[in-house]
Amino acid sequence: MEQYVRIEYGQMLKTFQSILEKEGLDAEKALQCARILTDNSFDGFDSHGVLRFEDFADRMKNGGMDKSAEPMIIRSEKAFECWDGNKGIGPLNAIAMSERAVDLANRFGIGIAAIRNTTHWMRGGTYGKHIAEHGCFGICWTNTKANMKAWGTDKEIIGNNPIVFSAPSSEERSIVLDMALSQYSYGKLTAMEMAGRMLPFFGGFDRNGKLTKDPGLILESRNAVPIGYWKGYGLALMLDIFSSVLSGGVSTLSMPEQGHTVSQVFIAINPGVNGSSAVEGIIQELKKNGEEVHYPGEGTEKRRAENLSSGVSVPYPVWNSIMERNAK
């Protein structure tokens, strides 16, 4: 039976920062990355936090991303900026673009930063939340390498391109919708298969093209279903077109097998002085229908509060490996 250890926020943050400094990041960047990955775990997304930390650290050595690169502006058209990520650190590039979008929104009402040639942002919700904390509405998305089939065909040519919508709240709620366009992520399918469990809803097609709740059959066919079937397929394609064309980057259809980079879009809208209290008014109206009615991000907030109080539960071998790496 697997053993778990509970890790406090400060301990995880310091450990991550220390390892990233040993990998050659300066103290500030190491802290920023460590905070994003720690926050992901405390928000309940270990798959983009502690469970992925060593892979993230490795990618700075093996050429998966360039730890010394900075994003570079390519084109500036008042409220629309286009950047090259120079294959730098995905989460840092994405935070920088969120802040560019907010700055533009504060000057022009709305702003967009599109970035090409960047690397995996880990979890999109991070950037939606960041934009909302600066008082703006946010819309962000990324393209990904191909992991879904074009609707009605057996061509695996479409990404499950996650999209994020976020809204500021005068009560400092984190109202963040962060959704991949496959019904379930491959990480979720793998976890459910390992646990020997069926999915609650159809998650994809088996080899014979029949909808199934069996995660193993979907992993075998590599045929995860887009949200809303043909609708999610269409949306995934549009998001890829927007992000790659607006940034001048590479579309999913043209990504190389190895060493691909991604394109991302960050839109911020400044709602004016009463925006965040108007949002709060809608949430309160929603909640009048009962506590069981949820807004996007509410579950994440709850998990975060629990984890901050009792620590995140991490499989012992995972944490042990991280501790050993830090001791080297």
Stretch that binds its own copies, among 26-34, 42-50, 119-127, 273-281 (CB under 8 A): 273-281
Under the binding rule (CB under 8 A), the answer on residue 74 touching its own copies is no
Question: Within 13 Å, how many C-alpha atoms sit on residue 1's CB side?
Answer: 1
Give least dist CB 213 to its own copies, A: 11
Could you say whether residue 124 binds its own copies (CB under 8 A)? no
Q: Is 86 left (phi over 0), alpha (psi -120 to 50) or beta?
A: left
Which tokens go with 272?
């004016």
- CA gap 82, 76 in Å, rounded: 6
Query: Measured from the CB atom, is 5 or 227 closer to its own copies?
Result: 227
- Distance, in Å, from the CA atom of 151 to the CA atom of 157, rounded to the nearest integer, reads 10
Tally of CA atoms within 13 A in the half-sphere of 184 that contains its CB: 26
Note whether 162 binds its own copies by CB under 8 A: no
Tell me how far, at minimum, the Cβ of 282 lies from its own copies, in Å.
5
Q: Is 245 among the residues that bind its own copies (CB under 8 A)?
A: yes
Work out which of 66, 170, 187, 229 binds its own copies, going by CB under 8 A: 229
112 lies in the site for its own copies, by CB under 8 A: yes
Number of Cβ within a 10 Å radius of residue 213: 15
The answer to whether residue 80 forms part of the interface with its own copies (CB under 8 A) is yes
Q: Does 244 bind its own copies (CB under 8 A)?
A: yes
* Whether 48 contacts 122, CB under 8 Å: yes
Choose among 62, 54, 127: nearest CA to 90.
Answer: 127
Site string for its own copies, 183-202 (x = CB under 8 A): x-----------------xx
| Part in contact with its own copies (CB under 8 A); list of ranges 30-38, 52-60, 187-195, 280-288 | 280-288
Q: To which residue do tokens 């057996």 refer?
A: 154
Decide if residue 289 touches its own copies (CB under 8 A): yes
Token pair 């022009």: residue: 108
Planar angle of CA 207, 204, 198, nearest 5 degrees: 100
Nearest to 94 by CA among 75, 68, 116, 64: 116
Provide, rounded to whole angstroms, the least separation between the CB of residue 278 and its own copies: 4
For the segment 16-55, give every residue that binds its own copies (CB under 8 A): none
Under the binding rule (CB under 8 A), the answer on residue 212 touching its own copies is no
Burial of 81 (0-12, 13-18, 19+ CB in 10 A): buried
Q: How many residues of this chain bind its own copies (CB under 8 A)?
A: 67
Instruction: Give CA separation, 218 vs 13, 110, 143, 186, in Å.
Output: 36, 41, 22, 9
Does 78 participate in binding its own copies (rule CB under 8 A)?
Answer: yes
Is there binding between residue 267 and its own copies (CB under 8 A)?
A: yes
Decide if 48 is catalytic. yes
Q: Which of 290, 309, 327, 328 binds its own copies (CB under 8 A)?
A: 290
**Residues contributing to the site for its own copies (CB under 8 A):** 75, 77-80, 107-112, 137, 139, 150-153, 155, 157, 165, 167, 175, 177, 179, 181, 183, 201-202, 211, 227-229, 231-232, 234-235, 237-242, 244-246, 248, 251, 253-254, 267, 269-272, 275, 278-279, 282, 285-286, 289-290, 292-296
Query: Which residue numbers are catalytic?
Result: 48
